[in-house]
Amino acid sequence: MIISYKHNFVYISVPKCASTSAVKAITQSRILDKKMDIWPGKNPGSIQHLKFSKQWQTPWGYKWSHKVSMASNPVLHPSMRYVSWDQLLKGGLVKETMDCFATVRNPIDRFLSTISYFLSRRGIDAKDSDYSRFWDTLDDVDNEDELIKSFNNRTYLIRSQTSYLSDNPTAFKIENFEPRIRELIQQFGGTVPSIQHANATIERPPTDQLLTKERQQQILDFYEDDLILWENAK
């Protein structure tokens, strides 16, 4: 997540949509104001490295404590990386007039990437795993399988992409990630850094080997708004 009061925009991080890479590129581009803008620090996974004072004051005078906000919003990712537009708006950190940017992904590809990343972080060979069971038990937080339960408890991974964004965001397809982030940086007069893909998912078998056509369609139906968002993205 990046909030640039200087340039009147917000970059919303959506899980498994190249957001870590985008945030890194934008923060290295020198377009952000150290005194007023908000962004993750050197380690975006640690809340103590976020560029917040104990009580942050927006340009319009709103004072916001990230610790208080975390306590009142238990569904947030622990590092505050994955915060939705609505949560920022409700918290007084952004205004409707600010531009909302994000990178988005085909729902099937994002689902598989999320599972692959989740498994690899636990030392499990994602190539040999049964991806279907994660879809068939989606939202089943009481499942006796601890792996399934652990995944479903991470609600920020399951949430739709559209639920993170404003009603009228500027969305970039992950396939066009690098040129679009470069354009965004250049739009605000920044220096384009070397753009690298962080947290890249390990290679996995073709989609048709991991999910039946029926399950793929179920994912597209469930995340219908995300599909429309991705199809219309730049």
Task: Give dist(CA 209, CA 134) in Å, integer.
Answer: 15
DSSP 169-215: -EEEEGGGHHHHHHHHHHHTTPPP-----TTPPPP---HHHHS-HHH
The whole model's pTM is what?
0.86
CATH code at 2-232: 3.40.50
Residue 47's pLDDT band (boundaries 50, 70, 90)? very low
* Cα separation values, 105 from 120, 121, 210, Å: 20, 21, 18
Share of the chain above pLDDT 90, in %: 53
Instruction: Tell me the CA distances in angstroms from 41 to 46, 50, 148, 161, one per residue in order.
Output: 9, 5, 32, 24
CB-count exposure of residue 61 (10 Å: 0-12, 13-18, 19+): exposed
Q: Given pLDDT bands bounded at 50, 70 and 90, which one contains residue 52?
A: very low
Dihedral angle over CA of 20, 24, 26, 32, nearest 10: 120
Three-state DSSP at 72 gives helix
Position 183, amino acid: E
Q: If residue 11 lies in a helix (H) or strand (E), which one and from where to where?
A: strand 9-11
**What confidence category does residue 74 fall into, taking pLDDT thresholds of 50, 70 and 90?**
very low
What confidence category does residue 64 fall into, taking pLDDT thresholds of 50, 70 and 90?
Answer: low
Query: What is the C-alpha separation between 78 and 46, in angstroms, rounded?
Result: 8
Reported as a single tens digit per residue, the pLDDT across 155-208 is 888 999 999 999 999 999 999 999 999 999 999 999 887 777 765 656 788 999
Rounded CA-CA distance 74/72 in Å is 6
C-alpha Rg value of the chain to the nearest Å: 18
Strand-strand pairing, 99-104 and 170-173: parallel
Looking at mean pLDDT, say which of 54-68, 151-165, 196-210, 217-231 comes out highest. Answer: 217-231
Which pLDDT value is given to residue 92? Answer: 81
pLDDT at res. 217: 98
Query: Does 13 score more than 70 pLDDT?
Result: yes
Top mean pLDDT of 22-36, 81-95, 111-125, 156-170 is at 156-170
Mean pLDDT computed over 147-157: 89
Domain layout of the chain by residue ranges:
2-232
**What's the pLDDT score for residue 61?**
64
Rounded CA-CA distance 210/195 in Å is 30
The mean pLDDT of the chain is: 83
- Distance between CA atoms of residues 151 and 158, nearest Å: 9
Q: How far is CA 68 from the centre of its chain?
A: 22
With beta carbons less than 8 A apart as the criterion, state whether 140 and 148 touch: yes
